[in-house]
Structure 1
Amino acid sequence: MAGVKATRRGRRPTGGGVQLTFEVIAEDLRERIRSGGLRPGDALPTQAVLMREFGASSLTVQKAMALLKQEGWAVSRPGKGAFVAHHDSADDLGGPEVTAAAVGTAARVETLERALADAVEQLADLRARVQALEAGGGEPGR
């Protein structure tokens, strides 16, 4: 499957049966993981390698990696790169696909919780500003 390119520069054909390039890259890497060519903890190919291999742009490769991370197939280690995620409980849950979905969901929940905490903090700051303005004292700290 390596080296397969999607058509029409990333737009989904009207027939709907052809994968976009980032989907092709993600599926190829999933297959390498399933087949044992890439094992948990192994480094995934670099962005430059995948760009050459698939004739893809950096953005396309980044979308493929983001998809794999979202699904739980890959993890990032800052300053080190992307690695195959560990699927220790895959046998208990019915295989890597189920584990990947669970890990991906947990990561999404964590991201949403952080975003919610940031939003609550921003609301509290705005509320304090409004109260200061209503009290006629101007904005706090200014």
Structure 2
Amino acid sequence: MSCVLGFDVGSKLTGVAVGNPFTASARALTTITVRDGEPDWQRIDALQKEWLPNTFIVGLPLTLDGGEQPASRAARRFADQLQKRYGLPVAFVDERHSSQDAAHRFAEARASGLKRRRDAAHIDAEAAAVIVERWLIESPAQPAIDH
């Protein structure tokens, strides 16, 4: 079964999620530490080997009016590195409001007893799951962007 790995790229932490194209669902996996602008590639290597994705999804942070910003360039750089390192297609998803959606999901899970306060450290991974689900729902028939 094929899957996708999604990333919510940050300056200190990058959230990672896995998505299932058949169910159009995703789940948060982990967060990866970013140091001096570089993610922990060993952890990403391990996730790639474990999940064997056929596509990577990267959240593209845009301004409210849809313009690029410094964080957009960092996400594009990360996507280029992913594509070169693994030779797999990479797709971008507009990640505006994904962090708010992730926070809302976390609050609902806490209210129902499924999450605890200490789980808030993984909110970036939950944001990655939101990004992956957006791509799965909005772009199921579209091929990933190979750059």
Name the structure with the higher strand share. 2
Structure having greater relative contact order (Cα 8 Å, sep ≥ 6) = 2
Q: Which has the larger radius of gyration?
A: 1
- Establish whether TM, by shorter chain, passes 0.5: no
Name the structure with the higher helix share. 1
What TM-score do the two structures reach when normalised by structure 1? Answer: 0.30
